[in-house]
Amino acid sequence: MKGNINEIQIDALKEANNIGAGHAAMALSQMLNKKIMIAVTRSEVVPSEIFLKNILGDKTALVASVYLKSLGDIQGAVIFMFKKESALKLSDLLLCREDGETKFIDEKAQSAIKEVNSILTGAFFSVLADMFNLKVFHKTPFYAFDKAEVIMDSVCEEAFGDREERLCLATEFIESSSKITGSFAFIPTQEAMEKLLKQLKVK
């Protein structure tokens, strides 16, 4: 849950998240040679049906996802989710395939999606590390294709050891020409949020 974090603190965290997500979007733009937009960061509670409805429209939607666990001074979880159609289009771009050539997320596509999301997470955390003078790194990314609610429950179980609701910062990457939309969620631990807020000097 949000715990003792107030709205002013949440706004400050959202702004920091926006800066990190903006740098990640620039990295993705350079990789794909296409303009990538980001939506305004929202504060959400996960795992929850409201989060999945806001991000994907349906908790039972089949999604290709990449999960990365963060370590160091900013511990928590990062998860990217793409609906099946967007994941197939993204695979075509990453693997220089013809539009519509990828019919399912094969091993090469999985590897490419994991790699690009690892780069995006690195770009995101490098900004936070520089902003707050904190050390942060992430573990090897994991790929999964399943219903969104199953993936979110599994991520929370693996990252935090439970399925309790906790605050996350969520945004979306949008590439309009190929109609690719991907969701990004940063789920810090309570301790990590307190460290960020201390550096932001927000009370």
pLDDT digits (tens, 9 = 90+) for 176-186: 888 888 898 99
Q: Which of 35, 58, 45 is nearest to 5 (CA)?
A: 45
**DSSP letter at 167?**
E
pLDDT at 146: 94
| Cα separation, 112 vs 143, whole angstroms | 11
Per-residue pLDDT of the chain (203 residues), as tens digits, is 445 678 888 888 888 888 888 888 888 888 888 888 888 788 888 888 888 888 787 888 899 999 999 988 889 999 999 999 999 999 999 999 998 899 999 999 999 999 989 988 988 888 888 888 888 888 889 999 999 999 999 999 998 888 888 889 898 888 888 888 889 899 998 888 888 888 777 55
pLDDT (0 to 100) of residue 114: 93
pLDDT for the residue numbered 1: 47
Residues paired with residue 76 on neighbouring β-strands, in sequence order: 70, 188
Q: Is 22 left (phi over 0), alpha (psi -120 to 50) or beta?
A: alpha
Smallest CA-to-CA distance from 124 within 12, 28, 10, 7 is with 28
What is the model's pLDDT at position 52? 85
The CATH H-level superfamily of 7-200 is CheC-like (3.40.1550.10)
For 196, phi then psi, to 5°, come to -65, -45
